[in-house]
Amino acid sequence: MSGTPPPLLEAFGIEKRFGGLTALSDVSLKIHRGEIYGLIGPNGAGKTTLFNVLTGLYRADGGRFQLDGRELSGLKPHQVAENGIARTFQNIRLFANMTALENVMVGQHMRTRAGVFGAILRTVGTVREEERIVHRAHELLAYVGIDRHANTTARNLPYGDQRRLEIARALAMQPKLLALDEPAAGMNPTERQALGQLVSRIRKDGTTVLLIEHDVKLVMGLCDRVAVLEYGKKIAEGVPESVQRDPAVIAAYLGTPRTKEETPA
Amino acid sequence: MSDTDTSFLKSRPAVWAGVALMAAALVVLPFALATVGTAWVRVTNLAILFVLLSLGLNIVVGFAGLLDLGYIAFYGVGAYAYALLASPHFGLHLPFWIILPIGAMLACVFGILLGAPTLKLRGDYLAIVTLGFGEIVRIFLNNLSQPVNITNGPQGISLIDPFRLGSFSFRDNQTFLGLTASGPIKYYYLLLVVLIAVVIVNIRLQDSRIGRAWVAIREDEVAAQAMGINTRNVKLLAFAMGASFGGIAGGIFAAIQGFISPESFVLVQSIMILSMVVLGGMGNIFGVILGAVLLSFVPEILRYTVQPVQTTLFGRVLIDPEVIRMLLFGLALVLMMRYRPAGLWPSKTRRREFAPRNGREGR
Amino acid sequence: MDIFLQQIINGLTLGSVYAIVALGYTMVYGIVQLINFAHGEVVMVGAMVALWVITALAGSGTTLPPLVIVLIGTLCAIPACMAVGYAMERIAYRPLRNAPRLAPLITAIGISIILQHLAMLIWSRNPLAFPQIISNPVFHLGGATISGVQIAIISLSLLMMAALTLLVYRTKLGVAMRATSENPEIAGLMGIDVNRVISITFVIGAALAAVAGVMVGTYYGIAHYTMGALLGMKAFSAAVLGGIGNLAGAMLGGMLLGVVEALGTGYIGNLTDLCHVSWISSDLAERCAVDGHVILFGSNYQDVFAFVVLILVLVFRPSGLLGERVSDRA
């Protein structure tokens, strides 16, 4: 008997192979409601692969995972999304030629209902829904701090704002779990700090966050718990302080002086 | 989404005046054309049919980015559905308001049948498969006269009923308030009404949740999936919508012509419609209309100018205007792709797509 | 007469032509990932030019032996087609190399239309009789027959395939071609003139197409300005069947498609003869008693086979028999 609620996301023994290469072997993890869960590890450790498995882009060769008690393994990306996992991409995948506003409007696709006939007949319900979509899109853009760019074409946004837009678009899906794949990549220290604040705020407002990040400092400062992947295996998990002291982690990842004091290039 | 700038309709009165003027011109047009020759009214009617087809194809190619080279097959399905159900061939004479929906449904089913297994293919392969599908439909139309005569083979089907509402037939001449409206003129007004309806449907679709999903898929399919968009279904929807538009246009075509044969549903026609969409500006409704009108009228104008010019210059026709038309048409496609790939009047999204990139490359 | 053997022979003849044309599609695809939709028209140009030259020579009262005349016709068709292939790549495709996929495809359609109608202007809008000046002896083989032209087509095709294979796998140019198809950027860094390699690929494909054009013209005895479109589509289907981008695949796919088409055409009438099941209705039985056959799909469906094969392959095995994967996922 325990008073704590069941975890939001649970993954058991996830396996993924590409040809002869094992990208993930027996990875299990639990993400609790309302926490920021960090996933770190050296390049090629399998972080993004795990991400792609958890969002349905890859089919796992073994193991399973569930969100909120519902089995999601084997589902297609759009089904995983419907069930409450939203993601961003390491190499930004916005709808480059749509405006920022339109991008966030697309993000609300599965939380809205208007179909072909509603659109053609322009029923009262459809018009109201459309108004709500635009309103909500502006809200979300303001939330991540780029509403002034609402009508800018996504690909013409400054780089940092593209990252923010991707987050806004993912939030538009009203996810239970927001999965961010290296959201701070390519940002300068000021931008990183601001991004950290945004992520904290998202959590405070009730969305659980799964974060892949290269910048150890950012992860350690932000995350409640951290898992470390190396060669497709989970080698450590726990609160940042204990993980940081874990000899296996130090050897694998923080061992060399250069990465220990990692600073943005 | 502000893709077609429909917002301007809400603004300046000057624009409203322009719209009113245009409407007036469209109303008077057939009578003006009829003074030159009824043939021009017929040409205009065919042009409107092509506009309808282009708008249907635009949903598939322009919005959803799926290249369909067999689109004419759906037109053929609609036309044959009408011809078989309203002609002496089977002795059936159902009213048009029953057949047109049937034709649209049938075309829609064909669209789904074609789309369901093929939509996962990459763009150029999809193009070839749809082309093959179009050819198969044509070959069947040509040969389904044996052993049971369904399509009457290459001879086609004639004596197809015109549209009738009670005793009002669209084919006969009719004098009304001193004005004589010939059959083509009556069809013109019918087509105009259909056209306006189709344009409204297109604009509304484009500015809707579904329209955004189509563009999103065109832009980045993986990201669209990650947004929870069921890309397969949404693509199928585009295919089905486009096909049913084709089916309706086909039914009207059969009624207007009174005769159809497989000759009208050949690959060149598919290519022609695709070119209208591309030339005008994929994804932009008004651009597509422009493209369809241009490509429908220019050949006719050529027919009436090139021939006399050649006869006066050389005493005989050296080059068939049809050939000149096709040569110009091929050249236009090549040059457009090279110098103005987004079309004469591109949609905003497409213009951005073909424009030189900036911003992101630096990082 | 042994229908099966006969259809196999006919199928291999046509299949050889498909294979030669399919090689053109597959080589270009392998190097620039472009479906050169206008490739079929090059075949047509080859047939037309050869027809022109052969007719002129044969009508000039020359004493040259017929075989030499055909050879001269072919040798004129080859450079003409090479020029067309080169111009096509240079003028239309090269500027579009980084454009969205739709652009080169539509350009190719435009080129097809232009080439067809130019041919119609130069030659005729009517089918032209391909001069049959070489004697065409017929040999008996089992219960079937094979003509001299058929033997020539099959053996010449095999010869060209062998030559092309040697070129690609045994020469410096071949290495450059394979390198470019693997990765044009790296090939460029290695000192390979990528543009030149791409041009040469188009030109070689066009030369093969020219020979194919002469073959088809001689085999069917006619040439027409629209002959390239359908032939091109079928050859493309063959390339996809074998696995686009793969040389051996194109050869295999071509032969296979030819045989499938010939056998299909030969047997479909019999297979879909409703008189096999005339018991299902008395009307049918009556008709069968009178006509002997009630054929559902006859040999007039010949052209459907290639498209059906194409669609089936793309749906169920998009990588073809020997090739890479073509479906679109990230």
Could you tell me the CATH number of the domain that includes residue C180? Answer: 1.10.3470
Read off the DSSP letter of residue B172. Answer: S
Question: Does B209 reach chain A within 8 Å, measured CB to CB?
Answer: yes
Query: In the structure, what pLDDT confidence band is assigned to residue B244 with cuts at 50, 70 and 90?
Result: very high
Residue C159 C-alpha, separation from nearest chain B C-alpha, in angstroms: 30
For chain C, the chains sharing at least 3 beta-carbon pairs closer than 8 angstroms are B
The residue that leads in pLDDT, C291 or A165, is A165
pLDDT at A157: 93
Using a 10 angstrom Cβ sphere, with 0-12 exposed, 13-18 middle and 19 or more buried, the burial of residue C316 is exposed
User: β-pairing, B179-181 with B174-176?
Assistant: antiparallel
Chain A: closest CA distance from residue B241 (Å): 9
Widest CA span in chain B: 72
Please give the Cα distance from B83 to B265 (Å, whole number). Answer: 14
DSSP letters for B192-205: HHHHHHHHHHHHHH
Region of residue A220 (left: phi > 0; alpha: psi -120 to 50; beta: else):
alpha
Percent of chain B at pLDDT > 90 equals 38
Averaged pLDDT, B152-173: 84
Exposed e or buried b per residue across B119-130, where buried means at least 16 C-beta atoms within 10 angstroms of its C-beta: bbbbebbbbbbb
Q: Is the residue at C330 inside a domain?
A: no
Q: How far apart are CA C228 and CA C41, in angstroms?
A: 5
Indicate which of B118, B121, B122 best probes the interface with C, i.e. most C CBs within 10 Å of its own CB.
B122
Whether pLDDT at A35 is above 60: yes
Whether residue A188 has pLDDT greater than 60? yes
Q: Which chain B residues are within 8 Å of A110, Cβ to Cβ?
A: 227-229
Mean pLDDT computed over every residue of chain A: 88
* B87-145 pLDDT tens trace: 998 888 899 899 999 999 999 999 998 888 888 787 778 888 888 889 889 989 998 88
In this predicted model, what pLDDT tens digit does every residue of A75-125 receive, in sequence order? Answer: 999 999 999 999 999 999 999 989 999 999 999 998 888 888 888 888 888
Neighbours of chain B (3+ CB pairs under 8 A): A, C
Taking the alpha carbons at both ends of chain B, their separation in whole angstroms is 29
B41 and B188 Cβ atoms separated by less than 8 Å: yes
What is the DSSP-derived secondary structure letter of residue A3?
S
Question: Regarding predicted confidence, which is higher, C288 or B232?
Answer: B232
CA distance A238 to A89: 25
> What percentage of chain A exceeds 90 in pLDDT?
57
The answer to whether residue B10 scores a pLDDT higher than 70 is no
d(CA B35, CA B52): 26
Q: Do B227 and A173 touch (CB under 8 A)?
A: yes
Other CB atoms within 10 Å distance of the CB of residue C82: 21
Q: pLDDT by residue (tens digit) across B256-271? A: 999 999 999 988 889 8
Helix axes C304-316, B96-118, angle to 10 degrees: 60
pLDDT of residue C298: 76
pLDDT the model gives residue C203: 96
* A9-84+175-260 to CATH, choices 1.10.1790.20, 1.20.5.440, 3.40.50.300, 3.40.50.880: 3.40.50.300
CATH class of B6-352: mainly alpha
Half-sphere exposure of B139 (CA within 13 A, CB side): 19
* The pLDDT of residue C309 is above 90: no
Reported as a single tens digit per residue, the pLDDT across C62-99 is 788 888 999 999 999 999 999 999 999 998 899 988 88
Closest by CA position to B73, among listed B276, B243, B282? B243
What is the structure's pLDDT at B117? 82
Q: Which residue has the tokens 């990306």?
A: A77
SS3 C75: helix
Q: Which of C262, C245, C222 is nearest to C320 (CA)?
A: C245
Interface pTM (ipTM) of the complex? 0.89
Q: How many angstroms separate the Cα of C232 from the Cα of each of A191, B84, C6, C149, C307?
A: 56, 34, 25, 21, 12
Nearest to A109 among B227, B353, B357 (CB): B227
What does the pLDDT read at residue B362?
33
Domain residue spans of chain B = 6-352
The answer on pLDDT for C277 being more than 80 is: no
What's the one-letter identity of residue B213?
A
Is C327 a domain residue?
no
In the numeric block, the tokens 């053609």 are attached to A120
Query: Does C284 reach chain B within 8 Å, measured CB to CB?
Result: no
What is the rounded CA–CA span in Å between residue B103 and residue C256?
A: 38
- Domain containing residue C304: 3-316
Structural domain boundaries of chain A? 9-84+175-260
Distance in angstroms (rounded) separating the CA atoms of residues A233 and A254: 16
Closest CA to C223 of C119, C148, C300: C119
For chain C, what is the domain count? 1
Tell me the residue type at B153: G
- B93: number of Cβ within 10 Å: 12
